[in-house]
Amino acid sequence: MKVDLPSGGWAELRDKLKGGDRVAAMEAVRVEVADGKTTVDGSVETRVCNALLARLITAWSFEGVPAPATHINPSAILEDLDLDDYNALCEAIEPYVEKVTPRPNRPARRN
């Protein structure tokens, strides 16, 4: 899927999710339990988005910058991305995030 970005650039995303995408998203979530208290920080959504973008962006229009899925450290690339472009990419993969992350209030699936 091609995503047009606010900067005038574009990104090509892999359309089909794989099991490894779910694993990467879940590994990005950290929950801390200490002294009987459970703590989840505000960056969970960002970490899940980054984990998926790092696997799903296969090509883009940023000359000289490797696409995250082909780079050894995709997080560094995403950190330098224009915020409007980053937000557009995160919005584009929202259905993917929904599919790979468990949500306690999500209706049960029917067979």
CB atoms within 10 A of CB 56: 25
DSSP lists the bridge partners of residue 86 as: none
Outline where DSSP puts E strands in 6-56. 10-13, 32-34, 37-39
- pLDDT (tens digit, 0 to 9) for every residue of the chain, 111 residues total? 999 999 999 999 998 999 998 888 888 877 777 777 776 666 778 888 999 999 999 999 988 888 888 887 777 788 888 999 999 999 999 999 988 887 655 555 554
Task: Record the pTM.
Answer: 0.77
DSSP lists the bridge partners of residue 11 as: 3, 60
Domain ranges in the chain are: 2-100
